[in-house]
Amino acid sequence: MSSETNDEDGVTLRPILNELRKPIHNLDALKALLRSSSKRLQIRTIDVVKSETVDRESGASAFPASDVRHILPLQEVILQQIIPTWYHTLVEDGSNELVDVLFNPRTDSKHPSAFVAAHAHTALLSALPSSPAFAVNLLEHLVKDWPLDKIHFAMFSSPLEISDGQLQSLWSDYLRAVFAIPAKVANSTKNNSPERLTFR
């Protein structure tokens, strides 16, 4: 399927990522950017589920390689710039799910969610020194909601505009992160890794 079809709404991850890198001066602007990110990644947020406005016809379209490449940078920007400054405000506003789903998407979302979840393991491990509570909390949910077999099935059974080599590389990066979780969490928290973060 052509990239024109995928980009028909004119929204791709790269310009959203660029806007998130700039200073954000109000909550509404931030929420709009986070919603645009979820829409581009075909992630169902709770407000979308309630309004039942998800475009189910788009589920069969191929996910462009350009957006796959931008998932991890998007997560890193959120961890480095949004979490320290805005997360408490988002929690008070009741809209922190807009951030959370960009690391641990609902499992009833479209197939790109598996790539979001896979990249999130790497991103959250890198955030352990600066945001240990946030990172450990989301990692606990990730390993429960997105076990290895579910991520593998979604990644390898969906239409993609990336090569087999790129796909295998992404899978290998994910596996390295998964097996590193117990030791890195224990080291960061100066304690034993929670049992639910131990890979089995």
Query: Under DSSP, is residue 130 helix (H, G, I), strand (E, B) or coil?
Result: coil
C-alpha separations of 68 from 88, 92, 182, 190 in Å: 28, 31, 26, 34
Please give the biggest Cα pair distance in the chain. 50
More confident residue, 25 or 7: 25
Determine the residue type at 51: S
Cβ atoms 75, 123 nearer than 8 A: yes
Percent of the chain with pLDDT over 90: 54
- Tens of pLDDT, residue by residue over 166-177, are 889 999 999 999
Total-model pTM: 0.83
What CA–CA distance (Å, rounded) separates 171 from 149? 12
Tokens encoding 58: 């788009």
Residue 91: CA atoms inside 13 Å, Cβ hemisphere, count?
Answer: 8
Average pLDDT over residues 178-190: 89
What CA–CA distance (Å, rounded) separates 131 from 139? 12
Pinpoint the alpha helices (H) of 57-163: 65-77, 83-93, 97-100, 112-126, 132-145, 148-156
Q: What is the pLDDT of residue 144?
A: 92
User: Look-up: residue for tokens 């097996």?
Assistant: 179
Average pLDDT over residues 186-193: 76
Q: What is the pLDDT of residue 112?
A: 81
